[in-house]
Structure 1
Amino acid sequence: MTAIPVVIGRRPPVIDRAEASDLHEADAASTALIDTHGRVHRDLRISLTDRCSLRCTYCMPEQGNEWLARSSILTLDEIERIARVAAAAGVTTFRLTGGEPLLRADIVEVVRRLAAIESPSGPVQLAMTTNGIRLAELLPALQEAGLHRLNISIDTLRRDRFHDLTRRDRLEDVLTGIAAAQASSLRPLKLNAVAMRGVNDDELVELVAFAIAHDAELRFIEQMPLDAGHTWDRAQMVTREEILETLRGRWTLTPVPGRGGAPAERWVLDDGPHTVGVIASVTAPFCGDCDRLRLTADGQLRNCLFSTTEYDLLPILRAGGEVDAEIDRMLRSCVRGKLPGHAINDPSFLQPARGMNAIGG
């Protein structure tokens, strides 16, 4: 089966079967997933669903969403199979995302299966990004199943703002989930907040103080052009420098060295031990050290959050034959096709057709 990418919004390029085969043979000599720019890929973000219990304005419309067909959603066995092949190729971290991953009925078994996988360097690390609404209910089972780390999204601490931003009155559920995470042994615990002008930019210090009180690290995220309605406006984005300037009014910030491929830059607050992070994908891209691949809930591999190209694993998984070898081949084709950067700041940049909920966080 030829590794042929599916491209959103334009006619897909076709990879010649012989060329793909030759390149795969060359890659097979080295287990690692290394792209043409020397980046080694060790992180796979796995989206479990495009559905969510919130309707955040920067992510998806309140109504009229076109959900993925249930028949196209990867089964538990299919997710595990892809994950095992990825781990054999050197992936050491899986992060479960959505939509909202806790909406998946088999979420505990997904965690159990993936936590049992080993890469050539040892057991994988299993993380999850969630809105926290069902977390208090499910956390004991998730922890017992093998979950290692948690990121919880919380953009505001004010009930009226939360309702306006998410179009749902669920702040108390999120806060209960965060409290449950604080009481657990899962560390490091991280809280994610998208900084938005005129929405929550007056809460930046308050959000960091809240994270400290819950033994967590606040990570601010620059708002990115990933909303399903394509209404992103650069002028409304709170930049990395604005975030840092605000925080310096309360704390002394000391950079934490050794970022590696992590998306967040981190700073120690005063003399520690608490830290804060900023993910500045727009104003300070970290593409040169990116080590991530993404798998959508419907089986599409993506080599960049902003990619307009997808590599379809679904036909491979459901056609039979040498499935593992074909998954490996597609992984390597996807990695080889990765560009040097996302080009957000280039005039030719095209926003992905999918919204963040369909791509996976």
Structure 2
Amino acid sequence: MPDRRAFLGQAAASLAGLYAGPVLAADSGFVPLGQVARAHGLQFGFALDPRRLSDARYAAFVAQQASLVVPENALKWAATHPAPDHYDFGPADTIASFARSHGIAMRGHTFCWHRSLPAWVTQTVTRQNAEAVLVDHIQTVAGHYRGMIHSWDVANEVINLADNLPGGWRDCFWHQMLGPAYVEIAAHAAHQADPGALLCYNDYGLESDSDKAQAKRKAVLAMLQGLKQRGVPIGGLGLQSHLRAGGSDSFGPGLAQFIQEVRGLGLTVLITELDVDDSKLDPATSDGVVAGVYKRYLDLVLGTGAVSAVLTWGVWDTPHYTAATPGQSGPMAQRPLAFGPDGSLKDASWAVEHCLMRARKV
């Protein structure tokens, strides 16, 4: 631990010297979103690619705008634990050092997911040793960042009604090895290793008021209720919030009610992976439409007074897929985030700022 903290301290000092200075024009009238969020008892931030932090403009923009960050991939199993006897914390340490040097909080994502498992796990782990392997991984990773993490996504996307398991559980590797108890096992291991961190369940497909989404909400709520009744230390729900523009909004009062029900369990709600897919829009008018989706969605969820953080899935626009489901084909989203390329302001930037300013405090 002393050696690791010394390394992080040295890296933080070097990063602090490299990345300084505002990116946005001082006379733009735009207040950094992290600053606006803090004034209203909230956090705002981005998912980060640690490789991009060597770009001074990217790093300076994140330092200017964010009060909370999360690694996109650097803390998933395949990245941190590529071999049974080998852990690699280098990329995630880069983000941790940067965040600490700029007074930015950091989330951890994710311990249990049906994707991003290295081959050695699925090829060698059995029902007999699965719990020991899972606990060792979580305690090693969470212990490495003990005291540095705002919140951990203990489990990600464990509900999938199409698999037809009792309770709506996803038929994934950890469920096959340990049954639904794996989430409880993971939460207790994370809490033991990093007791000061908020532990969260994170999922997609909960935002819509469609029949399908409402059925998934019911299953997620029942799972969370069960965890709380058994004393499992889950304190938050992450709503990924991969939204789509180009049709009538599918979110509405049902989402607000669901958020209040989650809050009634004693959990806070975080918007963890926000973006707006514009792939179906006319590029000439897409920015205004995307901004409108941001405004309606954030006004709805922040109006509940139960949302404590908003993070977008990326820092600024680069073409990418926004859907949480694997194997998507077709056109990519071009301008799905709150900021344009290189941190330029666009309609969505102002929409998010105004929504944060109007947010009800948690």
Normalised to the residue count of structure 2, the TM-score between the two structures is 0.47
Q: Whose helix proportion is higher, 1 or 2?
A: 2
Scaled by the length of structure 1, the TM-score of the pair is 0.47
Bigger strand share: 1
The higher relative CO (CA closer than 8 Å, separation ≥ 6) is in: 1
